[in-house]
Amino acid sequence: MTRSTKIFKYVGKRLLQGVPIILAIVIINFFLLNLAEGDAVDVLAGEAGSATPEYMAQLRQKFGLDQPLPIQLMVYLKNVLSLDLGYSFRHDMPVNELIFDRFAATGLLMTSTIILAVGFGVLLGLLAAMRLNTWKDAVITVFALITYATPLFWVGLMMIVVFSLKLGWFPTSGMTNVAAFYEGWDYVKDVSRHLVLPTITLSLFYLALYTRMMRASMLEQYGQDYVVTARAKGLTERRITYVHVLRNALLPVVTMAGVQVGALIGGSVIVESVFAWPGLGMLAFESLFARDLNLLLGIFLLSSMLVVAVNLIVDIIYCFLDPRIEVN
Amino acid sequence: MKQKILSIDNLSILLPAGADRQYAVQHVDLELHAGETVCVVGESGSGKSLTARAVMGLLPAPHVRVAEGSIIFGAEDISKVDYERLRELRGSEISMIFQEPMTALNPVMTIGNQIDEIFRYHVSMSAKERVKKALSLLFEVNLPDPEKIIDAYPHELSGGQRQRSMIAMALALGPKILIADEPTTALDVTTQAQILQLIRDMQKRLDTGVLFITHDFGVVADIADRVVVMQEGKIVETGTAKQVLTKPKHSYTKSLIAAIPRLKPRKARLRASEVVLRAEGVYKSFGSGGSFFGFGKPSREVKAVQNVQLELRRGETLGVVGESGSGKSTLARCVIRLIDCDQGKIELGDVDITKLNRNELRPYRKRIQMIFQDPFASLNPRIRVGDIISQGPLLQGVERHDAVNRAYKLLDTVGLDRRSFDRFPHEFSGGQRQRIGIARALSLKPDILVADEPVSALDVSIQAQILQLLDEIRTQMDLSMLFITHDLRVAAQVCDYVAVMQHGKIVEMGPTAELFVAPKDAYTKSLLAAVPGKDWHFSEINK
């Protein structure tokens, strides 16, 4: 069997394994969320201010909230399997529509964040390791330490203060300029201008992490025997660093980046709130307080699928980076 | 005598401040001629490897550096040339092979690419020519199927194949000097013999001068023209191989040679009739991959132990000998139930311990104890030596006071100071740690010791001491021992009975004295034939 058919089979198997995992996540989430006091009806009634118990019971019946939990779960699972995530009472919209709209925004933010964090993290770590114990190394290390230790929301606020309010380079919030109605290329430019600050804010922490990891990983690899062999073969230091050490040093960083995609979704809640970025994080945050369980479950489902998919992608990348990993 | 190609004069290498001595290497003089093999022999820490690295300009700068002296190669002093010149010399005029071919090769690069680099950075050749040359090199070092190996990654090759690839790489440009830093230490004995033969053949063809670093006098006897013996950074003796091996002058050389375990089997002793351990029809296999959430059949199965029968009588040492992957360690682990065997019986006295559960097993645990190979990894670095030794008895319900007393006594037994009780393992040398490991095993007053390569991580002189200690303890405490080793010389010295394992099966078993003199199985014969320095040993035995 060739390597590519092996990988193809492997992907199929992993996707198959993903199904029970995601189902389990849905079920656990369902019970977890129902453990919380109150439901959507309580919130609606509270906001309306003058709901009678009869009206509330009527609403519950309409939403299916009067059924026992196992039945609710069964109904929900049946709907999920037919790709229907239910209806958000809060937003008066099907959850599917609501989520997929927001998902694009979060996806964009996450992708740009990962590229920025991994790309620059690797670059800075490499530079620090190559210039070990010089001022460049010191500057990079201190920068990594500070950004690692600074809370996300504070960085976000300071970014707005400096780059939006004082310098006026970037917009303060949102994803598009609502008043402008851009189309085509102008729309892309507008979104990218809005994307800059949230991306930098969200990526700083991970950037610091990958910088430190890459630096440590490079230093560890420099100490390996094969580096001595490479020197004994009369290779240039440039070749040793960029060809021999770099590829080996990347492996742990890629692993880490894959694991942290899940955490990124969590981090995006804060950043999306600060920058009013219309993504999943903000939606999840709102729906939690509105007890909009259908919507929340839908978001959880989508993010768990995302994590499973990203892990698979990382594993495949890893196979290509490291020939020692066997696909089976 | 042929042309002199390397001369090291009055070389001293400085260690960083705070090391255990100021100079790693002091006032070393050494010469190497074309086509000659000079063996630098010494124990760990003798400075032999650093001397070799200095020739390549590969000292771990900036902490360790040449303080004094010169290394003349051709017309220049390579300890003083600039980096670019050094780079030109490395790999083309002087090249090096290392102890551990697995780590010395880049794991994520194909063998072909790693050979190709040498051409790319030293000579100008077209890509086609380079591939052709690489293939012919792989062919010259007797690798099977060079077309396949050129695209293989290091982990896909065996240890011997990896070392052959390293040699192909090192000899790619026909260097004048080959530095071999313990190139066969990590290899199995039969592979070792082949690699030594290969180095000799290639040397003859290219007229290379070989600087061979080793700790093993057996290897010296096989390969050396001249010998340099080093101790604590100084040369204590030089001479032709014959001189040094047969008439050593310096006391250190004498003690080193005396410490080498001889291939001379120990005298047979009367066998006791009491059987303390019996293994019957033991099977163990490992599987991996292919299953869905761990259900179903694994896609690949390794049969580590197959249908093994053993019998260990009271007071005797039974050796299990084999090369890596033969299943000897797995067998040892099955015997003391660190892992469960798939099938078969393991009887301790008259109880089959394979059927017992955790609680039922506990009283039997103390009767069979293990000594591990790596004295560095097998002791918990955060626990004091005294606690390491007394922990076992405490768990078995011995009073604290008694357990501590027992630990003190055991420290005496294994020849350690009683003050060691409150120290941590890292404060001890390898040999001392192995003594701690032995004391720990003895603290439960076992009937049986299972020793898994207990001396293979140690220097020869330390090795001899530990083997002697084990022998004394065995007699003193009337212990039986299952002794796992890859080294036939060690087995000959300590075992009464030997079982030879290959591919998970015992191919031959018998009293040491008989088995070593008249082996029946072809594999046993090939193992014995591959022992380094065999001719030298036999000439001594016959004396």
Interval A116-130: pLDDT, tens:
999 999 999 999 988
Amino acid symbol at A89:
F
CB contacts, 8 Å: B106 with chain A? 226, 229-230, 244, 248
pLDDT mean over B415-433: 88
Q: Is residue B286 part of a domain?
A: no
Contact B103 A224 (CB under 8 A): yes
Query: What is the C-alpha separation between A86 and A30, in angstroms, rounded?
Result: 13
DSSP secondary structure code for residue B531 in this structure? S
Which tens digit of pLDDT belongs to each residue from B42-54?
A: 888 888 888 998 9
Query: What is the C-alpha separation between B403 and B387, in angstroms, rounded?
Result: 9
Q: Is the pLDDT of residue B99 over 90?
A: no
B543 confidence band (pLDDT: 50, 70, 90): very low
Q: Is the pLDDT of residue A39 over 80?
A: no
Q: Is the pLDDT of residue B541 over 50?
A: no
Do the beta carbons of residue B101 and residue B167 sit within 8 Å?
A: no
Which tens digit of pLDDT belongs to each residue from A250-290?
A: 988 988 888 887 778 777 888 888 888 888 888 888 888 87
Rounded to the nearest angstrom, the gap between the alpha carbon of residue B271 and the centroid of all alpha carbons in its chain is 31
Q: Is residue B392 part of a domain?
A: yes
Instruction: Chain A: give the shortest CA distance to residue B536, in Å.
Output: 33
B301 confidence band (pLDDT: 50, 70, 90): confident
pLDDT at res. B429: 84
Residue A138, token pair as written in the block: 């010191």
Q: Is residue B201 part of a domain?
A: yes
- A298-328 as b/e, with b when 16 or more CB fall inside 10 Å? bbbbbbbebbbebbbebbbeebebbbeeebe
Instruction: Chain B: give the shortest CA distance to residue A325, in Å.
Output: 10
Contact A233 B103 (CB under 8 A): no
Nearest alpha carbon to residue A110 among A279, A274, A259: A279
- The CA-CA-CA angle for residues B515, B521, B525, to 5°, reads 70
Residue A92, token pair as written in the block: 């008066």
Establish how many alpha carbons lie within 13 A of residue A132's alpha carbon, considering only the half-sphere containing its beta carbon.
12
Q: Is the pLDDT of residue B505 over 80?
A: yes
Report CA-CA distances (Å) from B23 to B18, B41, B53.
Answer: 11, 18, 15
B299 and chain A in contact, CB less than 8 A: yes
Same domain, B8 and B89: yes
Same domain, B68 and B162: yes
| CATH number for the domain harbouring residue B68 | 3.40.50.300
Domain boundary among B240, B258, B276: B258
Contact B118 A231 (CB under 8 A): no
Which tens digit of pLDDT belongs to each residue from A193-248?
A: 888 888 888 888 889 999 999 999 999 998 888 999 999 998 988 999 998 999 89
Which tens digit of pLDDT belongs to each residue from A66-88?
A: 778 888 888 888 888 887 777 77
Beginning with the edge strand found earlier in the chain, give each strand of the sheet holding B76-77 in spatial order.
B23-33, B4-14, B65-73, B76-77
Q: Quick one: what percent of chain B has pLDDT higher than 70?
A: 96
Instruction: Chain A: give the shortest CA distance to residue B57, in Å.
Output: 9
Amino acid symbol at A4:
S
Same domain, B23 and B159: yes
pLDDT at res. A14: 83
Query: What is the C-alpha separation between B403 and B366, in angstroms, rounded?
Result: 14
What's the burial of B542, exposed, middle or buried (CB within 10 Å: 0-12/13-18/19+)? Answer: exposed
Same domain, B190 and B46: yes
Do strands B300-313 and B317-321 pair parallel, antiparallel, or not at all (unpaired)? unpaired
Give the contacts of B467 (CB within 8 A, at least 6 positions apart).
B261, B455, B490, B493, B494
A166 and chain B in contact, CB less than 8 A: no
Q: Phi-psi bin for B41: left (phi > 0), alpha (psi -120 to 50), beta?
A: beta
Q: Is the pLDDT of residue B97 over 80?
A: yes
Query: What is the C-alpha separation between B52 and B6, in angstroms, rounded?
Result: 12
pLDDT mean over A145-168: 85
Contact A229 B98 (CB under 8 A): yes
Q: Is the pLDDT of residue B360 over 80?
A: yes
> Could you tell me how many CB contacts below 8 A there are between chain A and chain B?
81
Instruction: Chain A: give the shortest CA distance to residue B390, in Å.
Output: 37
What's the burial of A172, exposed, middle or buried (CB within 10 Å: 0-12/13-18/19+)? Answer: middle
Give the contacts of B231 (CB within 8 A, at least 6 positions apart).
B42, B43, B46, B252
Same domain, B494 and B402: yes
Q: Is the pLDDT of residue B285 over 70?
A: yes
- Coil/strand/helix, residue B395: helix
Mutate to test the interface with A, among B94, B106, B292 (most CBs of A within 10 A): B106
Same domain, B319 and B410: yes
Q: Is residue B268 part of a domain?
A: no
What's the burial of B25, exposed, middle or buried (CB within 10 Å: 0-12/13-18/19+)? Answer: buried
Residue of A nearest to B94 (CA): A232
pLDDT at res. B39: 93
Q: Is residue B267 part of a domain?
A: no
CB contacts, 8 Å: A239 with chain B? 117, 121
CB contacts, 8 Å: A236 with chain B? 87, 121
Residue of B nearest to A244 (CA): B106
Q: Which residues 231-290 of A have a C-beta within 8 angstroms of B?
A: 231-236, 239, 243-244, 247-248
pLDDT mean across residues, chain B = 87
Query: What is the C-alpha separation between B388 and B372, in angstroms, rounded?
Result: 14
Maximum Cα interatomic distance, chain B, rounded to a whole number of Å: 77
pLDDT at res. B531: 86
Check whether the bond before B62 is cis (ω within 30° of 0): yes
Same domain, B492 and B365: yes
Domain hosting residue B398, numbered range: 312-341+356-542
pLDDT mean over B376-388: 90
Same domain, B209 and B145: yes
B93 and chain A in contact, CB less than 8 A: no
Contact A233 B105 (CB under 8 A): no
Same domain, B195 and B333: no
pLDDT at res. B542: 42
Give the contacts of A315 (CB within 8 A, at least 6 positions apart).
A14, A258
pLDDT at res. B402: 92
Query: What is the C-alpha separation between B200 and B521, in angstroms, rounded?
Result: 29
Q: Is the pLDDT of residue A328 over 80?
A: no
Query: What is the C-alpha separation between B348 and B356, in angstroms, rounded?
Result: 12
Residue B298, token pair as written in the block: 């694994």
Q: Is residue B305 part of a domain?
A: no
Cβ count near B461 (within 10 Å) = 15
Contact A239 B117 (CB under 8 A): yes
Residue B439, token pair as written in the block: 């004391």
DSSP secondary structure code for residue A163 in this structure? I
Q: Is the pLDDT of residue B450 over 90?
A: yes
DSSP secondary structure code for residue B274 in this structure? -
Give the contacts of A70 (CB within 8 A, at least 6 positions apart).
none
Q: Quick one: what percent of chain A has pLDDT higher than 90?
A: 13
Query: What is the C-alpha separation between B101 and B183, in angstroms, rounded?
Result: 8
pLDDT at res. A310: 84
Same domain, B430 and B508: yes
Domain extent listing, chain A = 100-295
Same domain, B238 and B325: no
Contact B91 A16 (CB under 8 A): no
CB contacts, 8 Å: B155 with chain A? 323-324
CB contacts, 8 Å: A243 with chain B? 109
CATH hierarchy code of domain A100-295: 1.10.3720.10
Do strands B23-33 and B4-14 pair parallel, antiparallel, or not at all (unpaired)? antiparallel
Contact B100 A239 (CB under 8 A): no
Residue A223, token pair as written in the block: 């100490």
ipTM surpasses cut 0.90:
no
Give the contacts of B114 (CB within 8 A, at least 6 positions apart).
B105, B106, B165, B169
pLDDT mean over B108-115: 91
Q: Is residue B289 part of a domain?
A: no
pLDDT mean over A4-15: 82
Nearest alpha carbon to residue B274 among B309, B310, B308, B315: B315
Same domain, B368 and B221: no
Domains held by chain B: number = 2
Instruction: Chain B: give the shortest CA distance to residue A235, in Å.
Output: 6
Query: What is the C-alpha separation between A164 and A11, in angstroms, rounded?
Result: 45
Amino acid symbol at B2:
K
Do the beta carbons of residue B393 and residue B443 sit within 8 Å?
A: yes
Beta strands in B432-518 (DSSP E): 448-452, 480-485, 497-502, 505-511
B121 and chain A in contact, CB less than 8 A: yes
Residue of A nearest to B116 (CA): A233
Residue of A nearest to B54 (CA): A232
